[in-house]
Structure 1
């Protein structure tokens, strides 16, 4: 279920936070090397180097790595250190640009700046530069983690850089105003408009005051309706605006979903990913396909077309509401069957011990599938595995595990499904 947070992920501004581990290490929070002063608040003149996973670039100062946001490769900037735990690296924001990159452009959002909203990482870069940076990050993660050299190009989706985000999570500040959280912080930056959100989504909640302990989930569907739900940690989500049935369209179908059920945030992403799965899965007629972390069955619908009425598609999904919606939406495809539960548990059940899928499609959460799931898939020896991923580091780790099991990376496509942010959607094909 691409793009959804793993359990325990924190939601920052427009989406799940969390960066892959880098080669640099830091002391645990609260501990500091006694021979190294705290640089927090210090201003450094830096030559900015290559981009790194997480929406920043790498610079060096006095032997330490500095991860710099609001900068671009090749720039000379003045950066203020925002976080320093005394390890081999610290974090900083570029507060002045002394020598700008030709890829730099004015930010369209007034709060996409140091100390403000943490949702967008690359508003100060051209569209071409954003995709080039993301391609470099994906390639670097594959090289460093999976030991794979692969030429990566990030493909644009229709619609441009603005007005695309159809699902938005907002927090509420102490005054009851909705907004987005600061980067790596909890403070809420109130907003009345978001240039990357579908018009009308943020505006649907910005004109009133809310309880300060709430988060708000806003969904603008393909039918033009905006659905708003109140989220509190101690009770179920409560729908406060909209009809309660989210209408989406993809793979030639209309999908009727519950407001909180996962769906792609970019209007063009579902079809782009499903078309790639269709091309690469090549499930044989009468065959068996697995759709792991299958959500409401977007990819299962494609696989069902390929295996036909005499074949079978197994969807494994842990969210019961997604499964309920999936069963209702794919009721015309009896070859699709459903299992509710965590993928590693379901694959280890006696009921599936003798199943040998021809193809496996997996779309794990941000943290990736991991060794237990990869080993369980490889034990069944499918000819083809199509891996959909929204985190380059997690994808690289999973690709490396499949390579260890005798698979080969046979194809990779990357899509700019989250313009202005550091997130990128990838699909990898692994074959025996």
Structure 2
């Protein structure tokens, strides 16, 4: 078995302030009690706790959070501080609006109700980590490269930026509105495509209907996946294994689910060659990890 390279410590994320990570969240969900008071839930309960400030939020978000206002008639208020446009509130069933997030000099459009990393430095840090995790000796820009659970195209763009505009890569995401924005965000890459579909169903169809030429392109491919906290799971890992890509890069937000999926990848003939961990959620037990798998 290949040697696994482990980071000696969980890596800090650039941009955290001197107070050991305070002021990092750009998105906060607040809940409303039966009297219209707003605040976070108490630990392991649905009891709303009124608070005077949000010390884990960015200064801009904390200053703009409506903690003293009454929201009778609503059950939740989301407060976000995107890269541009200032702090905004999402209340009830209001129509989502398009916002822009910046990663370095690159812009990503998405709905304000859509998924984006909550740490203000996470997208840029994870972009670099994914780029570093890909072995260039195993990467083929003409292969059937995939970005699974691709959202609005963050990691597909990371791959395109590293390997050039002719890179072929398809991002797969179940949320159609995110796919629409991914198509726009990836429009400068001639070989980039954005498809809507549940990852397990999409992969099953891909693997079952692939021609011999398509299978050859899959076997030369790099697959990036960024599943939800529950992880990819056995079925998706087995489908990825059936495609036999040259390498897999896994972005994980739960160490337990990641460890389980590492074992599943082992059953499919893949070795965890390298892993890095990042403290994207200061003052919590959560850790983000980026792992590289190679085919035995």
Render the CA deviation track for 1:223-277: whole Å, top value 9, x for unaligned.
251121113xxxx4446xxxx3322111530122210111111111111111111
Residue matched to 2:181: 325
More strand by share: 1
Query: Structure 1: how far apart are the matches of 2:48 and 2:154?
Result: 34
Q: Is the 8 A contact 1:251 1:274 kept in 2?
A: no
Residue matched to 2:200: 344
Residue matched to 1:363: 226
Bigger CA radius of gyration: 1
Q: How does 1:153-172 map to 2 (within 5 A)?
A: 153-158=9-14, 159-160=16-17, 161-172=21-32
Query: Structure 1: how far apart are the matches of 2:248 and 2:45?
Result: 38
SS in 1 for 2:275: strand
SS in 2 for 1:431: strand
Render the CA deviation track for 1:155-183: whole Å, top value 9, x for unaligned.
00122311110011110122211100011
TM-superposed CA distance for 1:413, in Å, is 0.4
Q: Is the 8 A contact 1:361 1:386 kept in 2?
A: yes
Residue matched to 1:299: 155
- State TM-score, norm by structure 1: 0.61
Q: Are positions 1:289 and 2:145 aligned together? A: yes
Query: Structure 1: how far apart are the matches of 2:22 and 2:165?
Result: 42
Gapped regions of structure 1 (runs ≥ 5)? 1-147
Q: Is the 8 A contact 2:115 2:151 kept in 1?
A: yes
TM-superposed CA distance for 1:306, in Å, is 4.5
TM-superposed CA distance for 1:151, in Å, is 6.1
Q: Which of the residues 85, 102, 110 maps onto 1:257?
A: 110
Query: Structure 1: how far apart are the matches of 2:260 and 2:38?
Result: 37
More helix by share: 2
SS in 2 for 1:154: coil
Q: Which of the residues 73, 79, 86 maps onto 1:225?
A: 86
TM-superposed CA distance for 1:313, in Å, is 0.4
SS in 1 for 2:101: strand
SS in 2 for 1:155: coil
Q: Is the 8 A contact 2:165 2:188 kept in 1?
A: no
Residue matched to 1:405: 268
SS in 2 for 1:426: strand
Query: Structure 2: how far apart are the matches of 1:408 and 1:304?
Result: 25
Query: Structure 2: how far apart are the matches of 1:280 and 1:419?
Result: 23
SS in 1 for 2:40: strand
Q: Are positions 1:270 and 2:131 aligned together? A: no
Q: Which of the residues 341, 365, 372 maps onto 2:235?
A: 372
Gapped regions of structure 2 (runs ≥ 5)? none
- Aligned-pair Cα RMSD in Å: 2.1
Q: Is the 8 A contact 1:285 1:310 kept in 2?
A: yes
SS in 1 for 2:61: coil
Q: Which of the residues 197, 213, 225 maps onto 2:57?
A: 197
Bigger relative CO (Cα 8 Å, ≥ 6 apart):
2
Q: How does 1:58-97 map to 2 (within 5 A)?
A: none
Query: Structure 1: how far apart are the matches of 2:43 and 2:81?
Result: 25
Residue matched to 2:210: 353
SS in 2 for 1:301: helix
SS in 1 for 2:66: helix
- State TM-score, norm by structure 2: 0.87
- CA gap 1:251/1:199 in 2 versus in 1, 3 angstroms: closer
Render the CA deviation track for 1:168-221: whole Å, top value 9, x for unaligned.
111012221110001110100012311010124244322321025421111101
SS in 1 for 2:251: strand
Q: Is the 8 A contact 1:251 1:302 kept in 2?
A: no
TM-superposed CA distance for 1:309, in Å, is 4.5
TM-superposed CA distance for 1:325, in Å, is 1.4
SS in 2 for 1:347: helix
